[in-house]
Amino acid sequence: MSEEDLDDLVHYRVEDQIAIISLNRPRKLNAFSDELVFALSEALNRFDTDDEANVAIIHGNGRAFSSGADVHQRQLRSREEFLKLGGPQGRGSNSGDLFIGSVNWKPIITAPHGYVLGLAFGIILESDLIVAEEGTRIQLTETSRGLGGSKYWRLMQYRGGSTFSTEIALTGRFFTAEEGHAAGIIDRVAPKGKHLETAMELAQQVNANPPLSVRATVRTRRLEMERIGKEAQSQINALKLFLTEDFHEAAKAFTEKRKPNKFKGR
């Protein structure tokens, strides 16, 4: 992928030592294709080495933060592709690696609005702080798609989700930013249309501190998050749920815009 293509998928600018990283695939509700994951990774690497930026904010252009993984690309691969890749993600585009490859450990705030589904939910959970627009609808779609929500359950627990995280992981139901805030998962809820502005205010509060002091905390948090996330993911990987009949039926039903047939548990 060319540098111009990467710049088009993810926009990057710096304002008052705050990097604003914008997901820019609005016609697809910022669905995460392999290419968008890679472009976001490149933007985060740029931020990590940018001397002019101490804090980053990730948000989505258009009607939603993100509708999650691009099902048409990532979940309709052939069995042979799944086996070669070890899952739905393309090589070098695992969203679980976005926040753990840091050198300088600068804090990252996510500012979701509209919808946050599946893979996108994982991204906001792994960010350091979350500022969500009021009414934002969030869903752990991995449960209904047959992939299992173990890792996200663990990350919600890490954030303080308690019994709420178990309900969400087992039912896969939508919940709002307000519910997430009450459960301790969302840090702040912003008024309608003010999520980026509110995230900027929070970023400025963080940026007022000595940067190395802030980064020490970020480093400790991220390394602990990586440990518990990988532990949970390794248990899921061993089950190879992406090869089950139920997973393929759920993905087909989604792309065909119909209800899935009765799941068979195989």
Q: What is the CATH number of the domain that holds 105?
A: 3.90.226.10
Residue 70 CA: distances (Å) to CA of 36, 87, 223: 10, 14, 28
Structure tokens at 94: 């695992």
- The pLDDT score that the predictor gives to residue 214 is 98
Query: pLDDT tier at 222 (50, 70, 90 boundaries)?
Result: very high
Has residue 266 been placed in a domain? Answer: no
Query: pLDDT tier at 235 (50, 70, 90 boundaries)?
Result: confident
Number of domains present in the structure of the chain = 1
Has residue 260 been placed in a domain? Answer: no
Flag the least confident range among 100-104, 185-189, 194-198, 243-247.
243-247
Exposure of 234 by Cβ count < 10 A (0-12 exposed, 13-18 middle, 19+ buried)?
exposed
In a 3-state reduction of DSSP, which class is residue 58? strand
Has residue 204 been placed in a domain? Answer: yes
- In the block, tokens 């940067």 appear at 211
- Kind of pairing between the strands at 10-15 and 18-23: antiparallel
What average pLDDT does range 32-41 have in this prediction?
94
In a 3-state reduction of DSSP, which class is residue 109? strand
Residue 215 has pLDDT above 90, yes or no: yes
- The pLDDT score that the predictor gives to residue 113 is 98
Residue 126 has pLDDT above 80, yes or no: yes
Measure the CA–CA gap between 47 and 159, rounded to whole angstroms: 24
Q: What is the CB neighbour count within 10 angstroms for residue 242?
A: 25
Has residue 263 been placed in a domain? Answer: no
Q: What percent of the chain has pLDDT over 70?
A: 89
Average pLDDT in the chain: 89
- The pLDDT score that the predictor gives to residue 76 is 63
Range of the domain at 65: 3-255
Residue 225 CA: distances (Å) to CA of 92, 230, 233: 20, 8, 12
Query: pLDDT tier at 211 (50, 70, 90 boundaries)?
Result: very high
Higher pLDDT, 265 or 2: 265
- The pLDDT score that the predictor gives to residue 90 is 56
Flag the least confident range among 26-40, 82-96, 123-137.
82-96
Instruction: Yes or no: say if 132 and 189 are a contact pair by the CB < 8 Å rule.
Output: yes
Phi, psi at residue 20, to the nearest 5°? -105, 115
Has residue 51 been placed in a domain? Answer: yes
Query: pLDDT tier at 138 (50, 70, 90 boundaries)?
Result: very high
Measure the CA–CA gap between 109 and 104, rounded to whole angstroms: 16
Has residue 264 been placed in a domain? Answer: no
Residue 168 has pLDDT above 90, yes or no: yes
Flag the least confident range among 71-85, 199-213, 224-238.
71-85
Query: pLDDT tier at 162 (50, 70, 90 boundaries)?
Result: confident
Has residue 90 been placed in a domain? Answer: yes
Exposure of 179 by Cβ count < 10 A (0-12 exposed, 13-18 middle, 19+ buried)?
middle
Has residue 174 been placed in a domain? Answer: yes
